[in-house]
Amino acid sequence: MEDFEARALRQAAYKHSHWFWYVHDIYHLAPWISAASWVLVHLNSLHKNIQLTMEIEKDGHLASLGIDIYKKADGSLGHKIY
């Protein structure tokens, strides 16, 4: 998976400013949905046996690994544990 991540970042069309990998999840903050969709297509093109899915925030919240990640009023990220 380290090789997969290194290739993904090296071959990306743009520099990822927010890219976090934890266990089996990748957190990528994209400025718009089309950018996030492009990243998903790019990642899924790197290896035929590694196919990722994408979760998109809803109402400023994203549930992941028992944590609610949300946007604060100032634009920063916060979290709450379920």
Where are the domains positioned within the chain?
2-81
> What pLDDT digit, counting tens, does each position of 11-20 carry?
877 666 677 7
Map residue 28 onto helix, strand or coil. Answer: strand
Q: Could you give the percent of the chain with pLDDT greater than 90?
A: 16
> What pLDDT digit, counting tens, does each position of 51-76 carry?
988 888 888 898 888 889 998 899 88
Q: Distance between CA 74 and CA 53 in Å, rounded?
A: 29
Strand-by-strand arrangement of the 77-81 sheet: 61-64, 67-71, 77-81
Q: Distance between CA 82 and CA 54 in Å, rounded?
A: 21
Q: Distance between CA 10 and CA 37 in Å, rounded?
A: 18
Map residue 17 onto helix, strand or coil. Answer: coil
The pLDDT-based confidence of 79 (bands split at 50, 70, 90) is very high
